[in-house]
Amino acid sequence: MTHVGPADRYPSSGGRRRSSRAVIVLLGVLVVALGLGIAYIGYREFGVQEIEGKQVSFEVVDDSTLTLELTVTREDPSRPAVCIVRARSKAGDETGRREIYVAPSPSGTVHFDTTIRTTRPPVIGEVYGCSFDVPAYLTTS
């Protein structure tokens, strides 16, 4: 008959320690990666932007016209830019759109008033977005 001692009956705890350490390390790496991902998204959405257009006000003139007042702020005002503004209907669909050329200027923030013609009655005007990728047909000689 073979003698079986207590150490032979129960598994050693060394294997459990190693696996629990691995789980803790893995969880730590995941938490750090998740934190970096959230920080990147937060910076991209709320950090300093090179160019930003903001609606100041709008006015519905009639069933086919809307006026929009906006400001455009650029980090480098010497660069030309373009902003797209649009009007939307009560259902939320776009009823009119216009591109605005933003010429280089000495000021970081410039102000515009523009008129948007619409295909249906507008209820809101907004800045869709701004970019430094200015189409050739908008630049003036």
Give per-residue pLDDT as tens, 74-100.
999 999 999 999 999 999 999 999 999
Paired tokens of 40: 């990147």
Distance CA 31, CA 47 (A): 22
Give me the CATH number covering residue 99.
Answer: 2.60.40
The size of the chain, in residues, is: 141
DSSP SS3 for 109? strand
Q: Identify the H or E element spanning 8.
A: helix 6-9
Confidence at 6, pLDDT banded by 50, 70, 90: low
**Same domain? 40 vs 65:** no
- Name the pTM for this structure: 0.65
The structural domain count of the chain equals: 2
If asked whether residues 41 and 90 sit together in one domain, one would say no
Is residue 134 domain-resident? yes
Beta bridge partners of 62: 65
Residue 1 lies in a domain: no
| One domain for residues 41 and 59 | no
What does pLDDT average to over the chain? 86
Q: What is the CA radius of gyration of the chain?
A: 30
